[in-house]
Structure 1
Amino acid sequence: MKAVVFHGVGDIRLDDVREPKIKEPTDAIVRLTASAICGTDLHFVRGTMSGMKPGTILGHEGVGVVEELGKDVRNLRKGDRVVVASTIACGTCSYCRAGYQSQCDKNPNGKQAGTAFFGGPIQTGPFDGLQAEFARVPFAHVGLVKLPDGVSDDQAILLSDIFPTGYFGAEIAEITPGDTVAVFGCGPVGLFAIVSAQMLGADRVLAIDAVPSRLDMARALGAEVIDYNEEDPIETIQRLTDGIGVDRAIDAVGVDANRPHAGPAKVSREEKKEAERMIEQVAPRTNEDGDNWHPGDAPSQALTWAVEALAKAGTLSIIGVYPPQMKWFPIGIAMSRNLTVNMGNCPHRRFIPKLLDLVASGVVDPTKILTNREPLVSVIDAYKAFDRRMPGWVKVELAPASAPAKKAA
């Protein structure tokens, strides 16, 4: 079969690989009818998150049709259309039963690594991913959710990861009706965090980014947009909130925003020196080669802004991805303002059924955020365009190899 395979930093290829087989009685084989490119995949390709094993199939978002079932998968039939939960969970351990499926103890290396997901690094398995024609899904009775006929692949692929993650971010932000919320980062997860904040009753949502197409989409969703290349985001937030700040802030960026900002937002000489000092101190101890610092070792601008934007006693939600070696956080400001900080990897399986019901009933249409649909054979070019944040490339769906490319509706 065809699959997107990681060979090294900056080196991914569309390879011919062996089709997966059932290994455990709780496995299923799924023929993928849709997958997607996520910002997390870009971290592995760029090398901003280390530990990827060459030969691993990438991708953790998938929709497909059940082709084969292990004997202990008793809630599905061959031919069922399903969405695949991005994180791997057994459904029986204490964490899964408590709704923390992203901390499953029985997933690959779960007790050591916590979250395991398809197409991830060595510490989470590794387990081959979903940017392929077929995939083996462990614990299929939990990880596969049957789709109703009225939900399309285009809708369902957004329920595999990014819609649940955005909703999780809004939920742990502790949003209550009437709140003013700042969402840092208007990529796919940030856009769904905007939608979810509104679903939970936020009165105002301020969206901070610098990519025009992302800001346009955030504005179309009803957010008040702030382009940090044109104005200082903290000064603007303070002005728009009459000097109070926002009630809740969501960091939907993560390691992508890890360097001192050089645009209109003010970064003092002392802050730049502090960033350089952190890099010098942390990088030699955390890098695998011991010589060059990883971007994850530097302070995150988005995280700093999120803390600075909050009103006293506000809540910070962190759903942007950070590597394990990230050790920098503006703890002083957070403590002095009595901020609450909630963070983590989304337990996708907890939220998929609820969000699927909302999509099936027409309450929300997630495809507003889907911008491109490319055949698997065009995946390398799609990765390049997505990585460069080309205009209009917000969320990319990968269709079967025979499918034609099209602009999403």
Structure 2
Amino acid sequence: MKAVVWHGEGDIRLDTVDDPTIQQPTDAIVQITRSAICGTDLHFIRGTMSGMAEGTILGHEAVGVVTEVGSAVRRFSPGDRVLICSTMSCGACRNCRRGLTAQCDVANPNGPLAGTCFFGGPQPTGPVDGLQAEYVRVPWAVNTLIPLPENVSDDAAILLSDIFPTAWFGAELAGVNRGDTVAVLGAGVVGQFAIASAFRQGAGRVIAVDGLRSRLDIALGQHAEVIDFNAEDPVPAILESTQGIGVDAVIDAVGVDAQRPWAGPAKRAGDEQAEQFDAERSQVAPQTNVQGENWVPGNAPSQALQWAVSAVAKGGRLGVIGVYPPAMTSFPIGEAMNKNLIVKLGNCNHHTVTPPLLDIVATGLVDPTALITQQEPLTSAVEAYESFDRREEGWLKTELTVG
């Protein structure tokens, strides 16, 4: 079968690999019909999340049809249309039973202390081959797969595999309450869904911060207020718009690959921290393979965290869903402590978060397909990765069609 395979930093290829097979009674084999490219995947290619094993198939978002099940899979059978959760979970351990499925005690092959197990990630997360392929083996299929109703299309379902649930989870982490003013840092596709999630969870105002005009225009279409960090310094702008108080909650949808402002009043502050940011980048990305404009690690790893802590009100809340690798140690803890902030972060508990969102999509209350900006065949995945990585205008979310 064809699959997108990681061979090293800056080196991904569309390879022909062996078809997956049932390895455990709890496995299922799924024929993929839709996959997608996520900003998380770029971390592995840029080098800002190390530990990838050569030969790992990339991707953690997919929809497909079950073709085979192991003897212990009693919930699904061949022919079922399914959504594949990005994170794997057994459904029986202590953490799964309390809804913390991203921290399943048994799904990660590295043991109960290893943390989240997700498709297409580095060695500490498994590794488990990912979903940018024609077929995939799904471990712990009973809890990792979600059945799809007939009235939810593959195109709509693909954004429920990770993006929409993660954004919703970010708003939950930030403790969004009715009437809150919420800042969303990053207006990529996760940020866009975070805006929608914050409003649906009761926010009275949402302020989106990004440096790309096309993304801010989409946020405007959701009735968010927008701040271009290349035109304004976002922290003073947020404080000014909240009468000097700050926002009630911040959702960080940026993560480690943040980019410093290239213009405007915020550029000076970023330039003054260049030495600190360079040290952080060396820490999180010890090995890179920059090729022209491609695979360039972010030049301000802790910038979003700094802005978040500075922009939130005293006693406010910060929800972090932007990806930070274990090597990242920078956080403005002194300022956060002095403001009595509540900080929550982590990987989405997909198995528990996704089903209610699937109901919202099935009833037509939300149309996630509006945020799919590109649809490419799996055979064009490498070229699509390159365009997405360069942050080309209009490249918000790329769906990969398979078969």
The alpha-carbon deviation at position 400 of structure 1 amounts to: 1.2
CA displacement, residues 117-146 of structure 1 (integer Å, 9 cap, x when unaligned): 000001111110000000000111111100
- What is aligned with 2:141? 140
Q: Secondary structure at the match of 1:247?
A: strand
- What is aligned with 2:377? 375
CA displacement, residues 153-183 of structure 1 (integer Å, 9 cap, x when unaligned): 0110000001000000001110111000000
- The aligned runs of 1:7-406 (5 Å cut-off) are 7-107=7-107, 108-257=109-258, 261-266=261-266, 276-277=275-276, 280=279, 283=282, 299-401=301-403
Quote the Cα distance in structure 2 between the aligned partners of 1:154 and 1:385. Answer: 21
Quote the Cα distance in structure 2 between the aligned partners of 1:282 and 1:229. Answer: 21
Contact 2:257 2:300 in 1 (8 A): no
Q: Secondary structure at the match of 2:399?
A: strand
**1:375 is matched by which residue type in structure 2?**
P
Quote the Cα distance in structure 2 between the aligned partners of 1:139 and 1:180. Answer: 39
Q: Secondary structure at the match of 2:227?
A: strand
**1:176 is matched by which residue type in structure 2?**
N
Contact 1:312 1:339 in 2 (8 A): yes
The alpha-carbon deviation at position 299 of structure 1 amounts to: 4.6
Quote the Cα distance in structure 2 between the aligned partners of 1:360 and 1:268. Answer: 47
**1:174 is matched by which residue type in structure 2?**
G
**1:224 is matched by which residue type in structure 2?**
E
CA displacement, residues 227-276 of structure 1 (integer Å, 9 cap, x when unaligned): 1111111121111111111000011000011x65453244667x866662
Inter-CA distance 233–176: structure 2 relative to 1 (3 Å threshold): same
Inter-CA distance 223–30: structure 2 relative to 1 (3 Å threshold): same
Q: Secondary structure at the match of 1:254?
A: coil
Quote the Cα distance in structure 1 between the aligned partners of 2:285 and 2:187. Answer: 29
**Which runs of no fewer than 5 residues in structure 2 stay unpaired?**
288-295
- What is aligned with 2:291? none
Quote the Cα distance in structure 2 between the aligned partners of 1:281 and 1:317. Answer: 21
Contact 1:60 1:131 in 2 (8 A): yes
Quote the Cα distance in structure 2 between the aligned partners of 1:304 and 1:115. Answer: 25
Contact 1:58 1:129 in 2 (8 A): yes
Q: Secondary structure at the match of 1:255?
A: coil
Contact 1:233 1:265 in 2 (8 A): no
**2:275 is matched by which residue type in structure 1?**
E
CA displacement, residues 50-109 of structure 1 (integer Å, 9 cap, x when unaligned): 111110000000100000011111111210100000001111111111111111111122
Q: Secondary structure at the match of 1:314?
A: strand
Contact 1:35 1:130 in 2 (8 A): yes
**2:181 is matched by which residue type in structure 1?**
T
Contact 1:110 1:124 in 2 (8 A): no
The CA RMSD over aligned residues, in Å, is 2.1
**2:326 is matched by which residue type in structure 1?**
P
Moved more, 209-218 or 297-306: 297-306
TM-score where L is the length of structure 1: 0.92
Inter-CA distance 304–21: structure 2 relative to 1 (3 Å threshold): same
Contact 2:260 2:299 in 1 (8 A): no
- What is aligned with 1:405? none
Contact 1:297 1:327 in 2 (8 A): no
Q: Secondary structure at the match of 2:66?
A: strand
The alpha-carbon deviation at position 210 of structure 1 amounts to: 1.0
The alpha-carbon deviation at position 308 of structure 1 amounts to: 0.8
**1:385 is matched by which residue type in structure 2?**
S
Contact 1:35 1:398 in 2 (8 A): yes
Contact 2:47 2:286 in 1 (8 A): no
CA displacement, residues 354-392 of structure 1 (integer Å, 9 cap, x when unaligned): 100111111111112111111001111110111111111
The alpha-carbon deviation at position 188 of structure 1 amounts to: 1.0
Q: Secondary structure at the match of 1:236?
A: helix
Contact 2:230 2:264 in 1 (8 A): yes
Contact 1:260 1:299 in 2 (8 A): no
CA displacement, residues 321-341 of structure 1 (integer Å, 9 cap, x when unaligned): 001111111112111111110
The alpha-carbon deviation at position 306 of structure 1 amounts to: 0.9
Quote the Cα distance in structure 1 between the aligned partners of 2:212 and 2:143. Answer: 37
**2:15 is matched by which residue type in structure 1?**
D
Q: Secondary structure at the match of 2:365?
A: coil
Count of aligned pairs: 396
Quote the Cα distance in structure 1 between the aligned partners of 2:137 and 2:381. Answer: 21
The alpha-carbon deviation at position 279 of structure 1 amounts to: 5.2
Quote the Cα distance in structure 2 between the aligned partners of 1:342 and 1:260. Answer: 24
Inter-CA distance 263–281: structure 2 relative to 1 (3 Å threshold): closer
Moved more, 313-322 or 299-308: 299-308
Moved more, 335-344 or 294-303: 294-303
